[in-house]
Amino acid sequence: MSIFSHRRLHATLASDASGSLAVSGAALVFIEATGVEQAGRISPTDVGLWDDATQEAIARTLRDIRSFSDTPFAIQLAHAGRKASCRQPWFGGGQLSLEDGGWQTYAPSPVPFDPKDRAPQELDQAGLTRIIEAFVQAARRSVDLGIDAIELHGAHGYLLHEFLSPLSNQRQDSYGGSLENRMRFALEVFQAVYEEVAGKVPVGVRISASDWVDGGWDVQQSIRLSQALKERGAAFIHVSSGGLSQAQQIKNEPGYQLPFAQAIKHAVDVPVIGVGLITDPQMAESVVASGQADLVGVARGMLYDARWPWHAAAELGAQIDASPQFWRSQPSRLKTLFTNNIS
């Protein structure tokens, strides 16, 4: 199965040193939320790509993985903005104080995500230029690493999303106010990255299609953004939602974000990745077969079950590639599950 024409599935991860997802049968594995500068990390332990040391750390892992797997890898380049400097969720989350190892955060406006947080520093023109260059440098390093695709993280209340939403962007200059102005910074980041890597790797964007708050970012604005990204060469749009405001009202249920993906797919001629509590293979198959999205992203489900694509292929009566060391593991009732099993 191939990523576009035969409904092969896609997986995301934050860290996979063991390479388990690289031998899962996923068509594409994303290294998620990779900070383009130290201040852009969500937590102190986040992966980053801003200097030679961070590049070599990723390179070591990729060299190990590529010794036993040819699964393509993409990287999600990110800046957490005002949601940076946080404890890991399993340690309670929340913003780290400066005394506990936290750092100054940055945003379009000095409005914290949580009223209890330190106010972020409003980015001036020098700060905007610094961050654009950080994205460009990280993209260049991604190409040097042999990464197969780049995704810019414009979702979940992080910096690019903060500029897009009127709830977090209260600027009075050319980066705030109108939709055109609020889209300006995200489009400048995309344009700079695209020009740096054009012809080398595809570049897409992950967006939150709705803030789930009245008066916030919504699907119609997301369509306008997606159209502008397509005009500038975007290879795909990865459609999620939420994460910007504590006032969000989300009804979590399987497929709850798919209507956003479908609306963007119908309005913009660009491949769309759909996500949202999709854990059932039949549901994943129907998403693509019905035209709601071109690809399906499976994240938490595959962190729980790193062989999810194998099990999905078996349930759907399909076949899937597997590394030779796994060929003898297929059950007797599934002797043709692995397409490259020569035994």
Could you give the residue numbers annotated as active site?
A: 158
Is 209:273 a contact under the CB 8 Å cutoff?
A: no
Is 154:160 a contact under the CB 8 Å cutoff?
A: yes
Listed in order, strand segments (DSSP E) in 8-87 are 10-13, 28-35, 73-78
Closest CA to 31 of 199, 109, 180, 146: 146
Query: What kind and span of H or E run contains 138?
Result: helix 125-144
Is 264:272 a contact under the CB 8 Å cutoff?
A: yes
Q: Which residues pair with 150 in a beta bridge?
A: 75, 203
Helices 219-231 and 179-197, packing angle to 10 deg: 40
Output phi, psi for 218, to 5 deg.
Answer: -140, 180
Lookup: tokens for 266: 């119908």
CA torsion angle 142 135 202 4 (round to 10): 90
Residues 6+ apart with CB under 8 A from 231: none
Q: What DSSP character marks residue 176?
A: S
Q: What DSSP character marks residue 25?
A: T
Is 57:133 a contact under the CB 8 Å cutoff?
A: no
